[in-house]
Amino acid sequence: MQLLYIVVIVAAMVAGDLATAEPVAHDRLRLLMTVAAVSMVMLFAHAAAGITLFRLRQDFARRAVWMDTFARWKALHLGLWAIVSVAILFGFQWAQLVRSNWQLADTFLLDEALILVPLLVPLFFSWAAFYEVDRTLERCLTPAEPLVGPWQGRIRYVLTHARHHLGLLLLPLFLVVAYQDATRWWLPENAADDLAMLGYLPLMALLALSVPLLLRLIWPTESLPAGPLRECLVAVHTRLGVGIRDILVWKTHRMITNAAVAGFVPRLRYVFLSDGLLGQLRREEIASIYAHELGHIRGRHLPLRVAAALLPVAVWIVATNSLTAWFGSPVADAGEAAEIAQAAIASVSAWNATAPLGLLTLMALYAATVMSRYSRLMEHEADLVACQETAARDSFSAAAAEPFADTLVRLTLASGQRLDRRSWLHPSVADRVAFLRRAAEAPADRRHFEVRMRRLARFFVGLLLLTFVVGTVLSNLAARF
């Protein structure tokens, strides 16, 4: 999932929370500007797809060059979409237009859905434009295979991208918003008190535990059929001592070549292998990718990622609550000290009013730097587990690293990606291969890396616990004084 998708969708919810009851002026002009901005994003996508289609049809032999250029255009398109979305939300005040001018603030989920419309519509129509490029590429590479009709195929293509990029974000988000709206509807007097806030804790815990089930609902899957491949994979997770509920085939119509693991507990843990991956790799290569996913379980990466992600949220909550507890109460005494205290109260009120936007900014910067770096290190650690499983019995050498490195390269090229391209949570395949070779050549460096990962795990968990302890102490001190 792209970081920009998360930031923009969460920004939409923040914009909705910050919307005031006062209607905005020039509502028709704002609506017209929103439509124009959305159209600009879609036109850019259609232009990029059209130029790429023309080049592919004129000189298909240079498809690698054209697709590399197309990938850059898609990255520019994503950036343009993010900028336009922020402009619509905070420049054109779309959320306030929906909630105040159209008087939809008290509706159940309707206002949140309409706030997302100008953000999601350009994505759907842009993916529909990108479909033509991928369809043309597939038709030229596999001319003997039958293709579905253009309209049916386009819809399936868009739905697959929507499920992959947005499904796991939107469904939990709407469940949380549904709880918020239901509390406001049925318990209006208690919607903002501590008891209502505590209700979010079991809801968030339930969502975290049910992520594997949500993925099964969002992604079309089926259990991997019995046979030699399943027996091989079962042997892998048995040797690694990792409990798995089931191995699932993720049906993407070969549009996605990837694997994933989800689930904190064995009875709710699934490994997802896309049909594109299963169709491109041999059995032993699939087993090594499977071992990599299990390496995330062996390294406790799922709970560690949650702890690392919660850290800035916890720091922000403690800071906000502490400021409110110490400086947020009215002061009855007269004099200069009272004036200073009242000024502090006004500052705290301004802090609380902009807290959601500040937290979003902090989280975006934190995710783009700290979380990104930590997640990439986790990928390296999971790669080591995959190589050790390939060599058997936790040994590690160049003979173990090279087959897995070759699998990574083959998988990347099969999915049409560049070897030097890295993502938000994953290092580039070139970096991963170089890391494995260094680890094989220098065992001392590999052991140092493993010690470093253990120290980082203790650091994030310890700092998160310390934050909660400090918050509790400050709240108790504020209550006494």
Residues 306, 285 share a domain:
no
Q: Flag whether pLDDT at 323 surpasses 70.
A: no
In this structure, is residue 420 part of a structural domain?
yes
Residues 438, 393 share a domain:
yes
In this structure, is residue 242 part of a structural domain?
yes
Residue pLDDT, tens place only, 456-471: 999 999 999 999 888 8
Residue pLDDT, tens place only, 62-79: 888 888 899 999 999 999
In this structure, is residue 199 part of a structural domain?
no
- Share the mean pLDDT of the chain: 85
Residues 378, 337 share a domain:
yes
Predicted local confidence at residue 16, as pLDDT: 87
Average pLDDT over residues 164-171: 90
DSSP symbol at 243: -
Bridge partners (DSSP) of residue 350 are none
The two tokens of residue 159 are: 């739905």
Predicted local confidence at residue 319, as pLDDT: 76
Predicted local confidence at residue 345, as pLDDT: 47
Q: Flag whether pLDDT at 194 surpasses 80.
A: no
Q: Flag whether pLDDT at 148 surpasses 50.
A: no
Range of the domain at 250: 221-290
In this structure, is residue 131 part of a structural domain?
yes
In this structure, is residue 211 part of a structural domain?
no
- CATH number, domain of 265, equals 3.30.2010.10
Q: Which of 194-198, 382-386, 477-481 has the lowest mean pLDDT?
A: 194-198
In this structure, is residue 388 part of a structural domain?
yes
CA distance 43 to 384: 44
Enumerate the H helices of 299-393 as residue ranges. Answer: 301-327, 336-353, 355-366, 372-391
Residues 103, 49 share a domain:
yes
Residues 428, 370 share a domain:
yes
Q: Looking at the 3D structure of the chain, how many domains does it have? A: 3
Predicted local confidence at residue 418, as pLDDT: 83
Torsion of CA 276, 279, 281, 287, to 10 degrees: 80
Q: Is residue 313 within 8 Å of residue 363, measured between CB atoms? A: yes
Q: Flag whether pLDDT at 417 surpasses 70.
A: yes
Per cent of the chain over pLDDT 90 is 51
In this structure, is residue 166 part of a structural domain?
yes
Predicted local confidence at residue 122, as pLDDT: 97
Q: Flag whether pLDDT at 355 surpasses 80.
A: no
397-433 burial, b at 16+ Cβ within 10 Å, e below that, comes to eeebbbebbebbeebbeeeebeeeebeebebbbbbbb
In this structure, is residue 196 part of a structural domain?
no
Q: Flag whether pLDDT at 380 surpasses 90.
A: yes
Predicted local confidence at residue 286, as pLDDT: 94
Taking CA atoms, 273 is separated from 66, 257, 281, 467, in Å, by 29, 8, 11, 38
Strands 270-274, 246-250: pairing is parallel
Residues 438, 396 share a domain:
yes
Q: How many beta carbons lie within 10 A of that of residue 304, not counting itself? A: 19
Contact residues for 463 (Cβ-Cβ < 8 A; gap 6+): 311
Residues 248, 181 share a domain:
no
Q: Which residue has the higher pLDDT, 140 or 266?
A: 266
Residue pLDDT, tens place only, 5-30: 999 999 998 888 888 888 999 999 99
